[in-house]
Structure 1
Amino acid sequence: MNGVLPDRELRALIDAGAITADSPITPEQIQPASLDLRLGTRAWRLRASFLAGKGRNVADRLPDLQMHEMDLTNGAVLEKGCVYLVPLMERLALPSGLTALANAKSSTGRLDLLTRLVTDDGTEFDRLPEGYDGPLYAEICPRSFSVLVRPGMRLNQLRLRRGDAMLNDDALRDLHAREPLVSGGPALIDQGLGFSVDLKPKAGDLVGYRAKPHSGVIDLDRIGAYDAREFWDELRTADGRLILDPGAFYILVSREAVAIPADHAAEMAPYLAMVGEFRVHYAGFFDPGFGVGEAGRGARGVLEVRCHEAPFVLEHGQVVGRLVYERMAGPPETLYGAGIKSNYQGQGLKLAKQFR
């Protein structure tokens, strides 16, 4: 069946040798509809970001672009504003009929840690064609905070697809009629499910956070260890609007609460490409079961926003992105938030898990 491969099929690919690794793949890496990828033991500081290009290997391009090699074994700091390339532990040999797409994990995006998948023969980031057989690399560029990383850390994840999985608008309307996908506002369906920014919270006047420009190093393994006030400025508004500063990074939240049914997955995408004043960072996938649980139906989408060249006024209810829903190729054995450690189930406005 066409669709996004569920956890059971990912395990079958691992058993068949289509997904291999330097160190055995752990159960914790396998999510309901994706596989977490792990950093290897070394990294290169680069002069610039790059793609291998058609017919070329990443290893062949490195001598011209690397500045120095780093050993990650005992931990190493990736400095803000620099570009690094890290070989991943996993390797793929995609069977016929399967393609793959990578994206940053939620905590990675909330730290403004730009992480993209690079491959041999690659002409674009984060996408692997049918039949790809080769190593995987993570390009990492910390944009707001310097970070301490170690081998085995999971910054991005891989989703495998068979055939066409995307729902068109008619199919999305039918799904919404059967299983409501959004609460807190109407379902704006136009090339996906649109969502807007919440700048008029029901309680209080805290609407988001802005990253401080000069902060300390964040050890990604330290959960709940950092005082948010040392890294973030709180943002409050009484009139439902916020002026974004060029170059600044923001954590905001969607007005709508969204749900992902058990037989579907979703991915964030831009709403209007021609709105060039700001961009939502779009960290990752929404697994089956997101926003569905004992606490009720629906969870907010956290928005990682960066303003570009000019200051920009963002207003309450302004549409800033959309969720593209995809069919699963089969039911996952485990849903998001059910029996696995899911940090953002039932979330509202929430920083990355490293902050308290």
Structure 2
Amino acid sequence: MGVLADHAIRDMLTRGEISAEPAVIDAQVQPASLDLRLGARAWRVRASFLAGEGRTVAERLEEFEMHQIDLTEGAVLEKGCVYVVPLMERLALPDGIQAVANAKSSTGRLDLLTRLITDEGVEFDRIAPGYDGPLFAEICPRSFSVLVRPGMRLNQIRFRDGQAVLTDPALMALHESTPLVDGPAVIDQGLGFSVDLKPAEGDLVGYRAKPHTGVIDLDNIGHYDPAEYWEPIHAQNGQIILDPGAFYILVSREAVHIPPDYAAEMAPYLAMVGEFRVHYAGFFDPGFGNVDAGGAGARGVLEVRCHEAPFVLEHGQIVGRLVYEKMQSRPDRLYGADLASNYQGQGLKLSKHFRGL
């Protein structure tokens, strides 16, 4: 039991349990997940939706469609609108294998809400064993309008054989044998992490998305001037006030690492701790922050949105948790080793589309 590694994903491709048109390329296969690609057409819809039991996404599109967009030459998905895009991949899952999807790191750092929906689906990003059918991405740009093309990879999917989430005692035992953070471990339904508002150097603690900006072409890497899209956030006293509706990029105080035989997923901590949410962009692959894979611990980048009321966020406040799972087997390649891994050894960092600071 456990999360399927890269070689097991390739076996699924060989057996036809994952298929695609055009065929999946090697660069899509990550240590513990598969990147999913946008198809050639988008539907602008009136509202977000789930297909629901006994219904297909195509049927619901007929109900909610406003217009269709050809993505072949590139098209802009506008901030504040909701789109549905068929993906190039489809599944024919065997019994016993379930799947879960999540946005890729760069997608989350652009505040680009991307969720997976399926025929007869009653949850976002969750696919039951035995599902046989197409996959769709629901995309809602929240801070920036974006230019997309077919083949772009905004979300990823992970496959599980049963449940292999580590209990708190097992997670503590793992930390004692292989330290998961560079300090005391706060373990409560996962490994807690806190926000860093007292950096070792200077007083820059994060960035806030500007409300009126230009379009971001998702193919442009290291291209955009951060000052045109982001306002730097400074803190002299270890606290900042979050504005309702604003989107922030912050960083965890802890440097974390994921051992080669494990994977992790970022999850919210508790809704009761304040009027904000730490968005979770995704999966942490085996080897993230691992010394053997070119890292020395890596900070978790936090995508934070405040809700109804201004909220004071203070240094060291627990804001999220990492849920660790056992891999079914060790991947052939680890994150940061033999892979073009953009965020290995990261600290406070915007998405890969912006020039270095």
| TM class by smaller structure | over 0.9
Partner of 1:300: 299
Query: Which moved further from structure 2: 68-77 or 265-274?
Result: 265-274
Structure 1 unaligned spans of 5+: none
Paired position in structure 2 for 1:261: 259
Please tell me whether the aligned partners of residues 111 and 141 of structure 2 are also in contact (alpha carbons under 8 angstroms).
Answer: yes
Counterpart Cα distance in 1 of 2:184 and 2:330:
28
What does the per-residue CA deviation read over 1:308-331, in whole Å, with 9 as the maximum and x for residues that have no partner?
010000000000000000000001
Q: 1:275 Cα shift? A: 3.1
Residue 165 of structure 1 corresponds to which residue in structure 2?
164
Partner of 1:153: 152
Residues 169-188 of structure 1: CA deviation (Å, up to 9, x unaligned): 010011111100001x3100
Letter of the 2:30 partner, please give it. Q
Q: What TM-score do the two structures reach when normalised by structure 2? A: 0.98
Spell out the pairing of 1:198-237 with structure 2 (5 A cutoff).
Answer: 198-237=196-235
User: Unaligned 5+ residue runs, structure 2?
Assistant: none
Q: Please report how far the alpha carbon of residue 64 of structure 1 lies from its aligned counterpart in structure 2 after TM superposition.
A: 1.3
- Find the counterpart in structure 1 of residue 34 from structure 2: 35
- Provide the secondary structure at the position in 2 that maps to 1:317: coil
Aligned partner of 1:98 in structure 2 is 97
Q: Deviations over 1:42-80 (max 9, x none)?
A: 000010000000111000111110100000000000000
SS at match of 2:330: coil
- Using the aligned pairs only, state the percent identity: 73
Residue 276 (structure 1) shift: 4.8
Which residue of 157, 174, 194 corresponds with 2:192?
A: 194
Match of 1:155, SS state, is strand
SS of residue matched to 2:272:
coil
1: CA distance between counterparts of 2:308 and 2:188? Answer: 28
Distance 1:277 1:343 in 2: 31
The answer to whether the 8 Å contact 2:288/2:295 transfers is no
CA RMSD of aligned residues (A): 0.8
Contact 1:276 1:308 in 2 (8 A): no
Question: In 2, Cα distance between the equivalents of 1:176 and 1:297?
Answer: 15
- Report the number of matched residues: 354
Give the Å deviation of 1:296: 5.0
Distance 2:163 2:106 in 1: 28
**2:122 alignment partner AA:** T
CA distance in 1, matches of 2:194, 2:184: 11
CA offset digits 1:130-155 (Å, max 9, x no partner): 10000000000000000000000000
Deviation per CA, 1:161-215: give whole Å up to 9, x if none: 00111000010011111100001x3100111000000000001110000000000
Work out whether 1:291 is the aligned partner of 2:289.
Answer: yes
